[in-house]
């Protein structure tokens, strides 16, 4: 099966020029319009498609519904372990945990010793409940309840508002639920904050060297072995949850994370996930309309000919946009400024428009300070201005008239004194 999008990618056409004043920059920053695929019709109870680079949800279907999520609960179990155990070579001893016959397990027995790395791998790939129990018991300092409280506290810190845990394993217990949107965000956080985790969930299979004997485990996420661009992340299945999959993928420089909840079989789970990811890559691309420090205007400076300081974007912007959507910039900046002005002074804005709608407004700031006009230069410029010359001539004339009048008055007084003396 060829999973590559059928649409043609074309290079960006950039027409950005640092013009001054208020205008719309019509240069295309998105790709040339192409026929976009229609959103997929899924058979999942809930689903979401997420772009971690920009925090955008590209597709949602009941994204906030609180649902049973089975072993995708272990995404939080793994996060708590990774945040509390720095050395993954640390050895834990299995507690007195006897999983039910139907539970997913790797056959750990009470007292068996295994490294945290192998326990995490056993938990994430074959979804070993016994491995999850071992990790929770030891990181919780002998208390599963304490570990679950840590899970819930972390969920609140991450803003996972539809998520609550009552188990580190993911069995159908009251109060254990999450949502499609929360699972996407949590998986993105796990992948971004732990290279060990990202490496683990991208393996089709792994060898566990520690423990009472060597074990070879396979990843229940079949898509990892079948599609090289899919690199995680976690499956789940219980009677209440149905079949669940949170999948991560990377193509065309864009990572996408999908979640499908409540499907009826493994085949349906995989088909829904593939449909969602394929549609995402056929329909969207990651664009960078603005980069931090990008020069967007060079205004003149009053009374300082030849000086054209740079107005630059205060921050960059990345955005996932539809392949048919135009991305443009509207630049508003003064034609002329006057010093002194500090470096970083905001003197304009760049508005990013997607399909004609503003999605971000970014300040334009000075990349360097603008000095005041030197006093001698300012005086010289003042004196050479036509109006200044007229005023100066008038002042000189008035001063001359005052002096002449004073002389005449002195002469008159002198003559009167001479006449009186005679």
Looking at residue 22, what is its pLDDT? 30
Which residue out of 13, 17, 31, 71 is catalytically annotated?
71
Helix (H) or strand (E) segment spanning residue 352: strand 346-354
Looking at residue 385, what is its pLDDT? 62
Q: How far apart are CA 329 and CA 199, in angstroms?
A: 39
Residue 219 scores a pLDDT above 50 = yes
Which residue out of 74, 178, 210, 248 is catalytically annotated?
74
194 is catalytic: no
143 is catalytic: no
Q: How far apart are CA 174 and CA 240, in angstroms?
A: 11
212 is catalytic: no
Looking at residue 30, what is its pLDDT? 31
Q: pLDDT tens for residues 369-385?
A: 999 987 755 555 555 56
Looking at residue 386, what is its pLDDT? 67
Q: Which residue has the higher pLDDT, 11 or 197?
A: 197
Q: Which residue has the higher pLDDT, 405 or 143?
A: 143
On whether the CB atoms of residues 174 and 148 are closer than 8 A, the answer is no
End-to-end CA gap in the chain: 132
Looking at residue 208, what is its pLDDT? 98
Looking at residue 364, what is its pLDDT? 97
Which residue out of 104, 127, 273, 283 is catalytically annotated?
127
pLDDT band at 20 (very low <50, low <70, confident <90, very high): very low
Tokens 């039910």 belong to 100
Looking at residue 250, what is its pLDDT? 98
Q: Summarize the confidence of residues 181-204 as an average pLDDT.
A: 98
Looking at residue 393, what is its pLDDT? 73
Q: How far apart are CA 293 and CA 21, in angstroms?
A: 19
Looking at residue 383, what is its pLDDT? 54
Q: How far apart are CA 334 and CA 306, in angstroms?
A: 16
Residues forming beta bridges with residue 337, ordered by sequence position: 301
Q: How far apart are CA 135 and CA 119, in angstroms?
A: 7
- DSSP-derived letter for residue 99 is -
Q: Which three-class secondary structure state does DSSP give residue 238?
A: strand
DSSP result, 170-234: --S-TT-BB-HHHHHHHHHHHHHH-HHHHHHHT-SEEEE-SSSS-EEEE-S-HHHHH-TTEEEEE
Looking at residue 7, what is its pLDDT? 34
Q: Summarize the confidence of residues 59-82 as an average pLDDT.
A: 98
Residue 368 scores a pLDDT above 90 = yes
Helix (H) or strand (E) segment spanning residue 297: strand 295-297
- DSSP-derived letter for residue 418 is H
Q: Summarize the confidence of residues 224-253 as an average pLDDT.
A: 97
């Amino acid at each position: 099966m060829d999973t590559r999008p059928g649409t043609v990618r074309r290079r960006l056409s950039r027409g950005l020029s640092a013009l001054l004043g208020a205008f719309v920059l019509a240069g295309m920053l998105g790709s040339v319009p192409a026929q976009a695929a229609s959103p997929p019709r899924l058979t999942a109870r809930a689903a979401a498609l997420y772009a971690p680079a920009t925090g955008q949800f590209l597709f949602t279907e009941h994204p906030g519904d609180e649902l049973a999520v089975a072993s995708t609960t272990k995404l939080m179990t793994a996060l708590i372990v990774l945040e509390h155990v720095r050395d993954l070579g640390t050895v834990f001893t299995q507690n007195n945990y006897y999983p039910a016959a139907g539970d997913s397990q790797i056959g750990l027995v009470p007292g068996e010793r295994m490294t945290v790395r192998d326990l995490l791998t056993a938990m994430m790939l074959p979804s070993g409940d016994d491995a999850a129990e071992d990790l929770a018991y030891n990181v919780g300092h002998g208390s599963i309840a304490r570990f679950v409280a840590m899970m819930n506290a972390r969920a609140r810190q991450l803003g996972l508002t539809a998520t609550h845990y009552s188990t580190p394993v993911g069995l159908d217990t009251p109060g254990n639920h999450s949502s499609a949107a929360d699972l996407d965000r949590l998986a993105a956080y796990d992948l971004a904050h732990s290279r060990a985790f990202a490496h683990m969930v991208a393996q089709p299979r792994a060898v566990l060297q520690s423990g009472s004997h060597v074990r070879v485990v396979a990843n229940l996420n079949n898509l990892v072995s079948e599609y090289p661009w899919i690199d995680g992340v976690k499956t789940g299945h219980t009677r209440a949850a149905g079949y669940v999959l949170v999948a991560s993928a990377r193509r065309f420089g864009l990572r996408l994370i999908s979640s499908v909840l409540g499907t009826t079989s493994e085949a349906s789970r995989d088909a829904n996930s593939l449909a969602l990811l394929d549609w995402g890559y056929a329909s969207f691309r990651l664009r960078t309309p603005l980069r931090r420090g990008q020069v967007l205007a060079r205004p003149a400076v009053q009374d300082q000919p030849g000086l054209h300081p740079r107005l630059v974007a205060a921050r960059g912007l990345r955005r996932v946009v539809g392949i048919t959507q135009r991305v443009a910039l509207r630049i508003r900046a003064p034609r002329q400024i006057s010093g002194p002005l500090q470096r970083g002074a905001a003197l304009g804005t760049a508005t990013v428009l997607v399909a004609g709608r503003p999605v971000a407004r970014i300040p334009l700031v000075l990349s360097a300070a603008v000095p005041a006009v030197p006093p001698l230069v300012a005086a010289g410029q003042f004196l050479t201005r036509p109006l200044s010359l007229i005023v100066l001539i008038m002042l000189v004339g008035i001063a001359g008239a005052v002096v002449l009048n004073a002389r005449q008055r002195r002469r008159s007084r002198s003559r009167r004194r001479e006449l009186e003396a005679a």
